[in-house]
Amino acid sequence: MEALGLNLGYVLVQIFNFAILFVVLRVWVYKPILGLLERRREAIAKGLEDARIAAEARENAEKEAEKLLNEARSKAAAETREVTQRAEQQAKEIRAAAEATASKAREAALAEVETERARILSDLRGQVAALAVAAAQKLIGEALDAKKQKALIDEFFSGVKAGKVTVLEGTEVSGAAAVVTSALPLNKEEQDAVQKQVLQSLGGKGEVTFRVDPNILGGLVVRVGDKVLDGSVSGQLGALRQSMR
């Protein structure tokens, strides 16, 4: 032992030396540095956490902005649509009003024309009757009873004989509405008589419209639904022409 230089005193001195170093280094070096490492680790973790939070916040802000933008966009779109609709509505209204005005004016004009025509035709009626009587007198050569002639002419034009509508005799009609066409406008009594009889044949109910068409020459054409009762002079002439051929 002695030759190897081993000596308990030196060993103890070295052990004490180590112990002192151990304590001092532990206080001065290890604890501060391990604390520093810990702090640094925490700081890094905190930095990462902060970065995460910031990223989240940014994401939220972006989302919020996106939402606001979308809202604004949809609101603008809605407003645009509404305005467009309103404009269209107004345009339509204006157009409709104009159309209505125009059609009203046209109708008024038409009605006026119609009344005028009816007035002219009814004015003509007397003269036509007189002309016909005169012509007949010339042809037949003898004067008829003036009253009788008048009745004949009236029957010719109105198709109403002794208060009865000739064309409705012996026929059956059914329908909701009837259109009665005459060559010359009917007078009030004739109209009443025709209406009464047509309604009777229709079953008491229905609507009767009167029209004037000089082309039929005389008599009446009654149309109920799809059925036409032709009592007109032109119709009879046509039938005669057919049978003579």
Partner 1 sequence: MEQSRKWWRFGVNRWFVLLFIVLNVIAVSAYPPLRPHIQLPAEALTEQPLFIFPLVNAPVYLTNTLVATLIGDILLLLIGFGVWRAVGSGQMVPRGLSGAVEAFIEVLYNLTESTAGKWAKRIFPYFATITLLVLVLNWMELIPGVDSIGFFNERHIENPFECSFVQLPLGAVGITGASNECVKGVIPFVRATATDLNFTLALALIAVVMVQVIGVRAQGLSYFSKFLNVKTFFTKPVFGVIDFGVGILELVSEFSKIFSFAFRLFGNIFAGSVLLFVIGTLVPVFAQSGVLMLEFFVGAIQAVVFGLLTMTFMAQATQSHGGEGHEESH
Chain contacts with partner 1 (rule: CB under 8 A): 2-15, 17-18, 20-22, 24-30, 32-37, 39-40, 43
State the nearest-atom distance from the C-beta of 38 to partner 1, in Å: 10
Q: Which is nearer to partner 1, 19 or 100 (CB)?
A: 19
Nearer to partner 1, 3 or 244 (CB): 3
Compare residues 34 and 69 and give the one whose CB is closer to partner 1: 34
Nearest to 161 by CA among 197, 135, 209: 197
What SS3 state is found at 62? helix
Q: Which two tokens stand for residue 25?
A: 């280094």
Q: Which is nearer to partner 1, 33 or 72 (CB)?
A: 33
Nearest residue (CB) to partner 1, 10 versus 196: 10
Closer Cβ to partner 1, 3 or 162, answer by number: 3
CB of 49 to partner 1, least distance (A): 17
**Do residues 212 and 121 lie in contact, with contact meaning Cβ atoms separated by under 8 Å?**
yes
- Residues 114, 7: Cα–Cα separation, whole Å: 152
Least Å from the CB of residue 44 to partner 1: 10
Q: How far is the CB of 61 from partner 1 (least distance, A)?
A: 31
**CA torsion, ordered 69, 71, 75, 81, to nearest 10 deg:** 90
229 neighbors 169 (Cβ within 8 angstroms): no
Q: Beta 164-165 vs 160-161: how paired, if at all? A: antiparallel
* Angle at which helices 188-202 and 146-158 cross, to 10°: 50
Structure tokens at 66: 């996106």
CB of 22 to partner 1, least distance (A): 5
Q: Looking at residue 144, what DSSP letter applies?
A: P
Q: At its nearest, how many Å lie between partner 1 and the CB of residue 53?
A: 21
Q: Is there a contact between 189 and 196 (Cβ–Cβ < 8 Å)?
A: no
